[in-house]
Structure formats: C-alpha cells, structure tokens
A and B are shown apart, each in its own frame.
Chain A
C-alpha cells in the first residue's frame, strides 16, 4: 500500500476544502439554518409533534442526512472530475498508485469533509432546537457510513461524467428528489397509505429512518433494515468501483 500517496491525495483535497471554506462549509451551514427558520420556526410551529417529538427536533436528522448526502456526492464527484477536466489526472495515472489508493484518497477526503459539515450542522441545530441523541455511537456510525457510501457514489459519477452538465445531472434529477421525498421533513406515517408503500421503494427512506432512530429511538422502518440498506448501497458502490478498476473505464484508453 502506497500510504504516502494516499496521504498526498488526501491532503491535497483537504487543502482545497480549506481554500474554499466559504463555499465548502459556511454555505451548507447557512442553508441548513434557513431550513430551520422556515420549517422549524415558521411552519413547524403550526405542526404538532411527530411521534412525540417536536417538529423542529424531528427534522434535524433528516436535514443532516440531506446535506451530508448531497455534499458527499458533490465533493467526491468534483474531486475526481476536476483533474479529468483539467488534464492533471495524467499525474495520478502515471504514478505508482493503485486505483484503490486513489479511491481511498479522494473518497476519504470527500467523506471527511461531509462528516465535518454533518457535525457542524448538528451543532448548529443545537442553537435552534432541543437535541437528544439516544444512541450516539450508532448515530456516528450511520453518519460515517452515509458519508463514505455517498462519497463513493459521487466518485463513480465523477469518473462517469464527460462534462459539467453530466456532473450535475444525477445529483439534481435523481438524488435531490429521492432525498427530499425520503422523509427528511416528515415521517412516512404522515403520508396516505398508497404513498407509504411507494415511498418504501426509495432507498433514502431507510438511511434517514436509521439515522433518526439513532436520535430518538424511533424510525419508519426497523434499524436492522436501515443498516442493511446502507451496507447494501456501500457494497454496490464498492462493486462498481472495483469494476472500474478492473476495466480502466473512462480513465485509461
């Protein structure tokens, strides 16, 4: 294992985060605060408690997941697409590094960044609503697993994308709707029965539900199912990355 190379990639990517701190960290914090103001204070005050939890507190896990998922994808996809776009990827491809090391470097940096943002949002939420975390270890585990698996997914998108439009396509058209409809702002038990069934086909529901369970001890689906879903997604992404590694798809001609 070329650890020095992994470290070099990781540091380089984290330096980019530091350089673009306003865009990387401050903007998600501001947008999340706005969600709290709009959904928590303005609308939330008109909504009763959800499953015994104040609406403002109820949306905290969903909001964190929403941001962490979109940020993981954005960070990792941009991280690997940018060198492709600039042509600087020649250096990585001609270096004595394996594809696995490249993945660990990029995905590690993207996941770290999203984890930081997730934790910052959690702290920010503490200013707006009372917070309780029933299972802190599980909460952290769900958060890390989500950061890693969505960063892997973002990495795949970044390798696949041939231009900036494609880079935005999947996050905008697929991921954002799934995340919004995945129970970030509501419990699926609040939906009509038909929609409850349809929603179960949305994989994001399982992730948000598990994460919410770690806060309040309740979820839309069982926690084992949630854990299984995130592990399945992680395995799928790792499988695709392995295939890319085997074939050199979109990297080596």
Chain B
C-alpha cells in the first residue's frame, strides 16, 4: 500500500530548549489504522500537531497525500480531520452550527444532508439544536469527532480519543472507527491504553522521549507485549516452593504469601489450568487469585532497556 503520510527526519525543539521530537521517521499507509502508543509527554501530540499545522517543525519534512505540510499546507490540511485531546468547544454555540462552521472553514460548501449524516452517525442528531455547554462529556467528544468529519477528510487523527470516556462510549467509538476504516478513511490514533490499540489498530508505533522506537504490525507486537501476571495469594505462606511448581518460574512475594505467575495470552497454552491443578496437588490452599496485564509503562521500560542495550 502507498504511504498517505510520510514523516522524514522530523525534529521539534521548543523555544525553551525542550526537545519534543528527534529524527522521527514514519510512514502511514492509506486505509490503515495506526495506533501511536506512548506515555504522557512522549511527543505524540507534538507529532500530530506538526502534521496538522498547529506546530512548526524545527527539522525534517512531512507530506500528506504528497503535499508538503508547510509549503503546500492547504492541500495537505484539506485531507485531515483532527480530533484533539482536550475537549475544546464553544460552550454557547449550537451543535449543528459548530459542525457547519467546521465544514465551512475547511472550504467545503454547505451540505445539510452531509451534516445530518455525520450528526446521525454520532447519535447527535437529536441534540443538534442543543447548546454545547448543556451536553455531557461523552456527547462533547462526539461533537469534536463530528466537527473533524464534517469536511469528509481522507485521514482522521484521534488524539487520545477515549481518555476519560466511559466503557460504553469507548466501545461505540471503536465501532465508529472501524466503520470509518471500512469507508476507506486512514486513521492515526494516539493512546496510552494498550487495549485500545489491541482492539483497533493494524499497526502500532511506540514513541517515547520524542523518538519512535518501533512501528510494527499489531499482532506481532501484541505477542511480545501481551504478557500477563497471575497473583496467587496463599492461605499460609510457603517457605520453599514445592518441586512440582518449579517449571512455572513462579516468583515469591510478600514472604511467600503471594506467588506470581507470568504468562503469555497470545500463546497456544497459557499453562494456567496445569498450574492450578499442580498447585492443588501440592496441598497449597488459595485465598485469592488476581490477574493483571503488565502496564504499558512497564513495557516501555522494557523497550527502553532493550533499546539502550541494542
């Protein structure tokens, strides 16, 4: 597939001397969903802001649909719809007027049928005459998306779209993103929820400290990142691990009160059933069982370590 966005050697140093991006190279293919993962302050928003024209780059070049974002900004920006991280809306404005404004400011002629379609797609049609300030947080996020889609962009940028959004709306958004992809829209999504990338992305990029560490096909990355932990809390602390449990590589915590088992969700067999059977055979009694996914922060630490060692 051809790259619709091409980022070459992009760097950004802010006036205060803070370096937000260093030598970033990235290609986003037409029609794909690329999830950009990274902790807060990694440079995700700066990268998106440069592509959209909100921030001027210090070095490098970005093209969108073959158009340079600085010298040929009109053509480049026409292709992009941006949903920002912060909910920034005119509180006193009506929903429909705000969406009409977005279409107009992107140079598209008025099209009531299209505006209606966008509002219906986002379940906002019934609220079209409501003042934005009267809407719930979730509804406001929908308005932001409607505004970004009002000019029928080929590319949609979603900057942390589900931060602070309830589960139901999050699922709805994911569904909407899939529908957009099916309609041929290229999507760049930034997030720090691994689950979100897992649910939607074709490819995943990891960015930290202003550098892109890797861009990989999602399934391949998930196999590497998808480690989970199971914490087994015992009724009585165990002094020494029974030999039967040795193959599981358990770690003892809290003076033997807790055993931690790390496993790979993507593997054909997680080993959980066998472990629990063997555990019962040893006569150890469980008080509680918890599982947790290793957090993205931890994965980043691992990635950074790998990166430093390489």
Contact = CB atoms under 8 A, between A and B. Distances in A.
Nearest to B77: A96
Interface of A: 2, 4-5, 7-9, 11-12, 15-16, 19, 82-83, 86-88, 90-98, 248, 252-253
Interface in B79-101: 80, 82, 84, 86, 88-93, 97, 100-101
Contacts, number: 81
Interface in B57-76: 73-76
Given A87-B86, A87-B88, 4 more contacts: A5-B107, A15-B93, A15-B97, A96-B75
A109 to B, nearest CB: 13
Contact of B78 (A7, A86, A96): A96
A9 B101 CA distance: 7
Given A86-B88, A90-B82, A93-B53, A4 B101 contact: no
Contact of A253 (B15, B90, B92, B106): B15
A94 B82 contact: yes
Interface centre among A7, A91, A97, A253 (most CB of B within 10 A): A91
Contact of A2 (B82, B101, B107): B107
B104 A253 contact: no
Contact of A19 (B77, B78, B92): B92
A95 B75 CA distance: 10
A253 B109 contact: no
Contacts of A248: 56
A120 B88 CA distance: 35
B90 A252 contact: no
Interface residues of B, number: 35
Contacts of A92: 105
B108 interface: yes
Nearest to A252: B56
A15 B94 CA distance: 11
A95 B79 CA distance: 10
11 contacts: A8-B104, A12-B101, A83-B90, A87-B84, A88-B89, A90-B54, A93-B52, A94-B52, A96-B73, A96-B78, A248-B56
B272 interface: no
B90 A88 contact: yes
A66 B115 CA distance: 42
Nearest to B148: A91
A77 B74 CA distance: 26
A253 B77 contact: no
A239 B55 CA distance: 23
Count chain A CB atoms within 10 A of each CB in B74, B92, B102, B106 and give the residue with the most.
B106
Nearest to B97: A15
Contacts of A4: 104, 107-109
A253 B55 contact: yes
Contacts of B84: 87, 90
Given A12-B97, A88-B89, A95 B55 contact: no
A86 to B, nearest CB: 6
B164 to A, nearest CB: 16
A60 B217 CA distance: 73
A95 B88 contact: no
B189 to A, nearest CB: 17
B108 A94 contact: no
A246 to B, nearest CB: 12
A252 B101 contact: no
B248 interface: no
Interface string B5-35: 0000000001100000000000000000000
Contacts of A19: 92
Contacts of A253: 14-15, 55-56
Q: Which 3 A-B pairs have the closest CB atoms?
A: A8-B104, A87-B88, A96-B74
B147 interface: yes
Nearest to A85: B88
Contact of B55 (A8, A11, A16, A252): A252
Given A90-B54, A90-B84, A253-B55, A96 B106 contact: yes
